[in-house]
Amino acid sequence: MLIKIKKRSDAEEYEITPQSLFEQRRRFIKKVGGLSLAAATLSLPPSALAALNINPYSKDVDGDRDELTAYKHITSYNNFYEFNTDKQSPAKLAGSLKTDPWSVTVEGECAKPGVYALEDLAKPHKFEERIYRLRCVEAWSMVVPWIGFPLADLVKQLEPTSRAKYVEFTTLFDPEQMPGQNRNVLDWPYVEGLRMDEAMNPLTMMAVGLYGEVLPNQNGAPLRLVVPWKYGFKSIKSIVKIRFSETQPQTTWNLSGPKEYGFFANVNPEIDHPRWSQARERRLGEYRKRKTQMFNGYAEEVAQLYRGMDLKRNY
């Protein structure tokens, strides 16, 4: 039996990365410390990534294939109140944000507090690509190929003490770079938090890129959280501070609207937002609506975190 071995010269047109894009991605790898993203993944353009089963956590919903949301939708329709409250403005205004150099302050109940350059904070960790759904309270969703590393690895690096029950995150506060912060729509700076067991779950991710490229400013550059079973406002962007605490953090949206935005913010189709139903959602780029899945479809991995809790009270 003859077996044809495909030669490199037999590559299809969609498998060939333009030289300019290849060089941009090489600069990206160098920027985050020369860390190991899979070479095969980085050499593929976005159109080819859709055919790859990159992440075991990416699942079908409603019997449909979880198609990746187009890059143009992911990067042009954003919730980022630091720039503006509408969805289109962040992509237009976020160019004012300077992300290099960038540092993150670590405080609280841990053995290694201090001010870390982003490269030093990220360097010890292995980067990977994960396809996760992101569901927002406004009933829209997207499927994103994120690049980053597990938050659990970073937590271990910083060595929290036994008193650390929560991890708190803070976004940059700089109204000159982030014009939306000149408006009193929220109590700035933006603060979010997780319970320690949520932070240590393997799904929780610190992202620095998407679609094989550096994270765009409007998507939370240069460092953001991704918690795929929670509503999008928990996945805080442009992080400048990490604090370990014994008490539950006072988070921005929970303070702004405690009856609408709970601390836990788990995706739950049975709990309506006071002003609309959460039972269905619409993917960016689609017109039809889908049923919202409990925990955004990740119940198998995270439901045990909330065993015994009343999810209507702890919303």
Residue 163 forms part of a structural domain: yes
Token pair listed for 66:
């979880």
The rounded distance, in Å, linking the Cα atoms of 266 and 135 is 10
Identify the domain containing residue 237 by its residue range: 18-306
Q: What is the pTM of this model?
A: 0.83
Query: What is the reported pLDDT for 165?
Result: 98
For residue 2, tell me if it sits in a domain: no
In a domain, 7, yes or no: no
The answer to whether residue 12 is domain-embedded is: no
pLDDT at 11: 29
Assigned domain for 13 exists = no
Give the C-alpha separation, 14 to 26, whole Å: 19
- Cross-strand pairs, 140: 282
pLDDT for position 27: 56
pLDDT score of 315: 92
What per-residue confidence (pLDDT) applies to 45? 43
Q: Residue 312 domain-assigned?
A: no
Q: Is residue 10 part of a domain?
A: no
pLDDT of residue 66: 73
Chunked mean pLDDT (size 10), the chain, 315 residues: 33 33 49 42 40 42 69 96 97 95 97 96 88 94 93 97 98 98 97 98 95 92 97 98 98 95 96 92 93 95 96 91
CATH number of the domain where residue 252 is located: 3.90.420.10
Measured in Å, how far apart are the chain's first and last C-alpha atoms?
A: 61
pLDDT at 30: 54
Phi, psi of 145 (to 5 degrees): -85, 90
Q: Please give the tally of structural domains in the chain.
A: 1
pLDDT for res 67: 85
Q: Residue 24: its pLDDT value, please?
A: 53
In a domain, 120, yes or no: yes
Residue 161: burial class (beta carbons within 10 Å; 0-12, 13-18, 19+): exposed
